[in-house]
Structure 1
Amino acid sequence: MALIAFNKPYGVLCQFTNESTGPARPTLADHITMPGVYPAGRLDLDSEGLLLLTDDGRLQARIADPRFKAPKTYLVQVEGEPDDAALTALRRGVRLKDGMTLPADARRIDPPALWPRVPPVRFRKSVPDCWLELTLREGRNRQVRRMTAAVGHPTLRLVRWAIGAWTLDGLAPGEWRQVD
């Protein structure tokens, strides 16, 4: 059984082929050389960070399926400075168009020591930003972005740092390693 931790760069598709009719985009095939592994879950094109890949279908389902509630931790740069009410709302669950989210662990953090994003997040002198650490136990489409927007703080940058006990620690964007 193979299990790979990959630091997905911004703008890379979470698949091995680019089947769209639009512009050619980088895919996992541009970074992962081990044959027979597939992503356990997804990250959007404009999200960065930890993606686990495996050749074991059961493990893939266990990691990706929300029924197993594997905690996923994200470092999130948001527009504005969330107050205690916004953080409490995230901690209790937020109403989205597809229903209430499960409660999230949410806290303000100092800006993390991350690699520069290419392209960089647009800087605006008149609008402050802030970093949050959010841990979710479900996996709806674009959930972190929708949750932060619902409490009035749109996401500027999104980096998945951990899935369960697996983390990005020591992996630069585009790098991968085999893990236990």
Structure 2
Amino acid sequence: MVASLIAFNKPFGVICQFSEHEKHPTLKQYIELPEFYPAGRLDTDSEGLLLLTNNGSLQAKIASPRFKLPKTYWAQVEGILTPTAIEQLQNGVQLKEFTTKPAKAKILAEPLALWQRDPPIRERKSVPTSWLSLTITEGKNRQVRRMCAAVGFPCLRLVRVQIGQFNLLANPLALGQWTKLTEADLYRM
């Protein structure tokens, strides 16, 4: 079998598994290809770029922190981000069981190219929100959400927009749609 790679724009609320789930829609409702598995995960309440492959070694290369493939997230957080919080994210954040590796972090203007989330985030008139771009090379359980909370800015919406060199917004893919990729799409310079 020839190894294949696909990019999927995962909607909010979809669980990253193919087997049926009693509460959430699954990948099976969007991708009808046998022998494909996620290369890494996105939480059910996160959206955006998910890579899937039918090749175990490629799956490990994409998902394992050992290979340091950068993953970029856009996070809408509660409150107005501060330079101190950005600096903490850039230096690494102490979480309960480990300290994160330094990340690339910067404040974003509200991204206009992003699709509307269904359902929308909870809005509170008395609490402003701001956007952050965060690039990490680890990818531990709920890491970006935990990093944001640790620096005082709880995450309201989390969208993965890039893995390696493949950017979901530069290669528009409708929400819930997928497309074939090559490994070269991830490692182009």
Give the 5 Å matches for 1:85-100.
85-100=84-99
User: What SS does the corresponding residue of 1:107 show, helix, strand or coil?
Assistant: strand
Q: 2: distance between equivalents of 1:67 and 1:138? A: 8
Partner of 1:55 in structure 2?
Answer: 54
* TM-score in terms of structure 1 length: 0.96
* Alpha-carbon contact 1:66-1:137 (below 8 Å) kept: yes
* Alpha-carbon contact 1:11-1:26 (below 8 Å) kept: yes
- For 2:102, the aligned partner's letter is P
* Alpha-carbon contact 1:2-1:178 (below 8 Å) kept: yes
User: What SS does the corresponding residue of 1:45 show, helix, strand or coil?
Assistant: coil
Residue 68 of structure 1: how far off its partner (Å): 0.7
User: What SS does the corresponding residue of 2:126 show, helix, strand or coil?
Assistant: coil
Give the number of aligned pairs. 177
* TM-score in terms of structure 2 length: 0.91
* Alpha-carbon contact 1:6-1:50 (below 8 Å) kept: yes
Query: Is 1:27 paired with 2:26?
Result: yes
Q: 2: distance between equivalents of 1:81 and 1:137? A: 25
Partner of 2:64 in structure 1?
Answer: 65
Structure 1 segments, 4+ long, off by >4 Å, are: none
Partner of 2:186 in structure 1?
Answer: none
- For 1:101, the aligned partner's letter is T
Give the gaps of 5 or more residues in structure 2. 183-189
Q: 2: distance between equivalents of 1:164 and 1:57? A: 18
Corresponding residue to 1:172 among 142, 150, 174: 174
Q: CA RMSD for the aligned pairs?
A: 0.9
User: What SS does the corresponding residue of 2:156 show, helix, strand or coil?
Assistant: strand
Residue 168 of structure 1: how far off its partner (Å): 1.3
* Alpha-carbon contact 1:18-1:24 (below 8 Å) kept: no
Partner of 2:153 in structure 1?
Answer: 153
User: What SS does the corresponding residue of 2:114 show, helix, strand or coil?
Assistant: coil
Identity between Structure 1 and Structure 2 (%): 59
**Structure 1, residues 99-134: CA drift from partner, whole Å, max 9, x if none?**
110001000011112111111001111100000000
Q: 2: distance between equivalents of 1:110 and 1:160? A: 16
- For 2:84, the aligned partner's letter is A
Partner of 1:38 in structure 2?
Answer: 37
- For 1:5, the aligned partner's letter is A
